A and B are shown apart, each in its own frame.
Chain A
Amino acid sequence: MTLATPLCDWHSTHGGRMVDFAGWNMPVQYKGIVDEHNAVRTAAGLFDISHMGRLRFTGPDAREFLDEVQTVDLSKLKTGQIRYGFMLNESGGILDDILVYDWPDAPQLVVNASNREKLLAWMTPLATRYAVSIEDLTLTRAMLAVQGPHAIDIAAQLLGDEVRQLKYYTGKPMTWSNEPVLVSRTGYTGEDGVELIIDSGSAVALWQAVLAAGESVGILPSGLGCRDTLRLEAAMPLYGHELSEEIDPLSAGLSFAIKLSKAANFIGKTALEKIANGTIPRPRVGLALDGKRIAREKTAVVSGENVIGEVTSGTFSPTFQKSIAMAYVDAAFAEPGTRLEVDIRGKRESATIVPLPFYKRNS
């Protein structure tokens, strides 16, 4: 069965081109990927991200339980703080990359739509040893992302100046139109912005209010197509592409999100300590192609006659007008400036290793 967000009808009646994404009927684009991408980089875009899994943890052992099943240190997290982290298997492989929110009432996780059911099935037996309940709020709440240089101004029109006080990666419960909204200064585009969690019944009204507030600056409803090109320019990993159960966070270049000093013995910690003490055989790198063809997922990266890596995501960057990709390559070839080739459907194209991210906003 395909799941639909509370905004599904709005999307299909407003030019949204609907596709199946991780079991959800989602808009890949409305006006066009490039127009929507540019709107987010220069003005603002509005995304329906209600497909993301929202899980709430209550009970006396909620924090202790979370400290075992994921990498973020709950004992160090203060109310209102948000951290990026991982759920790992015993070998350090990534079950999912997640956001941990310390809301005043209870901690919540936002997980990938594609992994929500897997994680629930994985956590349920582990949770029996703790006094914790896991509540899946995914189907009763909607989640919207307002992203772009004008996003905060737009959000402030709806939520008041309180939203301007939020620091990056913090959140606060606020009210809009007498409805509670969880507001966080987070995103997946490389731009400033907020993400809003609201009761499903109010999703369409909030969506329309954001569009109205952003109309004068040219806000566009934005689909998953530009969400992908935006996150790729910002070198943010996507589960199923850069991340999988066979990849650990250190190889993925995400050591900033791992605190091995965390006291609690989280699952995968021992494996990560071992990996951290060795060398990474195949790190994640950025590639800039000389030509315009796109090196998509699974494209082989070659040097002479040898396959030395594989592309995980590639696109034509609307911001730089250049074909870019992320890949895992053998460490000997990972230095920025290294010249390589990619084999795109039997034809070789030249490429150079470049530092990540491709795009960083001026803050």
Chain B
Amino acid sequence: MDLAALKYAKTHEWVAIEGDVATVGITDFAVQLLSDLVYIDLPKPGKALKVGESCGEVESVKAVSDVYAPLAGVVTETNPNLGDNTEPLSSDPFGNGWLIKMKVSDLSGLDQLLDRASYEKHCESEAH
């Protein structure tokens, strides 16, 4: 996965866009911060999401974190390899650990997301 080709939300979701279909996951930074993942809860296909709406949970030993929809649209697919099994997300957050695919209703939402350089800067400021 070319990380520079992805878009990022400040809440640590990444988006890969192909036509009007977005693949959404959470970043390595978020996975490291959570560490010791236990459980992943994802929305059902067909669920309509607004930008910034909570659409899932990633639970670690330490804390539970919401996953927020980085774009508006409808969930078309969720990663069948995740749930009780969190290993794909721990080991490959930008690949096998993707969370959901969605049909995006408004592509202009992409302009509100960060590019890789801005996201890295954002992480640095949060890590501090």
Contact = CB atoms under 8 A, between A and B. Distances in A.
B28 to A, nearest CB: 15
B117 interface: no
Interface in A27-72: 28-29, 32-34
A269 interface: no
B107 interface: no
A29 B35 contact: yes
Contacts of A80: none
B22 to A, nearest CB: 25
A229 B62 CA distance: 9
A33 B62 contact: yes
A32 B31 CA distance: 12
Nearest to B54: A345
B36 A292 contact: no
B38 A225 contact: no
B64 A32 contact: no
B1 interface: no
A105 B41 CA distance: 57
A144 interface: no
A296 B35 CA distance: 17
Interface string B56-70: 010101101000000
Contacts of A323: 38
Given A33-B36, A293-B39, A28 B62 contact: yes
Given A292-B84, A294-B64, A33 B35 contact: yes
A139 to B, nearest CB: 27
Contacts of B39: 291-294, 316
Specify which of A29, A293, A296 lies most central, judged by the most chain B CB atoms within 10 Å of its CB.
Answer: A293
Nearest to A294: B59
Contacts of A293: 38-39, 41, 59
Nearest to A31: B35
A296 B64 contact: yes
Interface in B36-58: 36, 38-39, 41, 57
A89 interface: no
Nearest to B83: A292
Given A29-B35, A32-B36, A292-B39, A225 B62 contact: yes
Contacts of A318: 61
A28 B36 CA distance: 13
A312 interface: no
A352 interface: no
A136 B58 CA distance: 42
A28 B84 CA distance: 25
A184 interface: no
A189 interface: no
A28 B35 CA distance: 12
Specify which of B35, B38, B61 lies most central, judged by the most chain A CB atoms within 10 Å of its CB.
Answer: B61
A153 B26 CA distance: 44
B98 to A, nearest CB: 20
Contacts of B57: 345
A315 interface: yes
Contacts of A296: 64
A293 B39 CA distance: 6
Interface in A283-326: 291-294, 296, 315-316, 318, 323
Contacts of B41: 293
Given A29-B62, A32-B35, A318-B61, 16 more contacts: A28-B62, A32-B36, A33-B35, A33-B61, A33-B62, A34-B36, A225-B62, A229-B61, A291-B39, A292-B38, A292-B39, A294-B38, A294-B39, A296-B64, A323-B38, A345-B57
Interface of B: 35-36, 38-39, 41, 57, 59, 61-62, 64, 84
9 contacts: A32-B36, A33-B61, A34-B36, A34-B61, A225-B62, A294-B39, A294-B59, A316-B36, A316-B59
